Amino acid sequence: MKTIVLTPAAARDLDNLPAEPRRQVSEGLIDYAVNGNGDVKRLSGRDGYRLRIGRYRVIFAEDRTTILAIYIGKRETTTYRRN
């Protein structure tokens, strides 16, 4: 199991989501941290990964013990250009 750490910006992003997507994103992050399950791909052209949870994306970095969530938002927005 890995520890999940949210940057202040990612914590604000998560807080601003509607209740149901917030629950789904939280459960998706926990599932990935505990079991390694999830639609994860390495980002091209930069460091980091993305976790796809429905219409939402979590941009994160990870090492052996920690997942650092950098951005959480809808794919339709500027997800990949913003961060």
Per-residue model confidence as pLDDT tens digits over 26-71: 999 999 999 999 999 999 888 999 999 999 999 999 999 999 999 9
Dihedral (Cα; 24, 36, 30, 78), 10-degree rounding: -50
CA distances from 79 to 1, 34, 53, 63, 64 (A): 27, 25, 13, 22, 25
Name the DSSP class of 63. Answer: -
Q: Is residue 83 part of a domain?
A: no
- In degrees rounded to 5, what are phi and psi of residue 60? -150, 165
Q: Is residue 72 part of a domain?
A: yes
Full residue range of the structural domain in which residue 70 is found = 3-76
Q: Over 90: is that where the pLDDT of 21 sits?
A: yes
Total number of domains constituting the chain: 1
Q: What is the CATH number of the domain that holds 11?
A: 3.30.2310.20
Q: Is residue 67 part of a domain?
A: yes
